[in-house]
Amino acid sequence: MTGAEVVTVARSWIGTPYVHQASVRGAGTDCLGVLRGIWRHLFGEEPGDIPAYSLDWSEPQRDEVLWAALADALIGKDVDDEDVGDVILFRMRDRAVAKHVGVQSRIGADAAFVHAYRGHGVVETALGFPWRRRIVARFAFPFEQEE
């Protein structure tokens, strides 16, 4: 499996409406739901149960719940070491917990990512400065490396 194949799966979710806590391609999903759907496509069963979460998920406690879960299931990377197929984690507001994810679909001058965004559904968005400044972590899927 390659990063390009991850992007193909991610792009197959484009157009899915935004539905909080859902993960059904074509019917409804949130940003975590897209990632869960990609995981199921790549590996089958999800790596763990996802507890119900609210829109203010983990903010009152200031717990980086999503960051910790991604670090457990994926391979951490340097934030600047971008490649297609990477999972990128965003902090949407200064001093807020990081709780938005997407999959990098292009790198370089035309960098972009696929994500589910409230009010927009699943879209592919340019990864320009307004988004880049919010990136706090980057991960790769745990594929076995081909020799």
Average pLDDT for consecutive 10-residue bins of the chain (147 residues)? 94 97 96 96 87 62 82 95 97 87 97 96 97 97 67
Cα separation, 22 vs 104, in Å, equals 21
pLDDT tens readout for residues 84-102: 999 999 998 888 888 899 9
46-69 burial: b if 16+ Cβ within 10 Å, else e: eeeeeeeeeeebbeeeeebbbbee
Task: Please report the domains of the chain, with CATH numbers, ordered by start residue.
Answer: 3-140 (3.90.1720.10)
Cα separation, 147 vs 139, in Å, equals 21
pTM (2 d.p.)? 0.91
Q: Which of 101, 84, 79, 69 is nearest to 9 (CA)?
A: 84
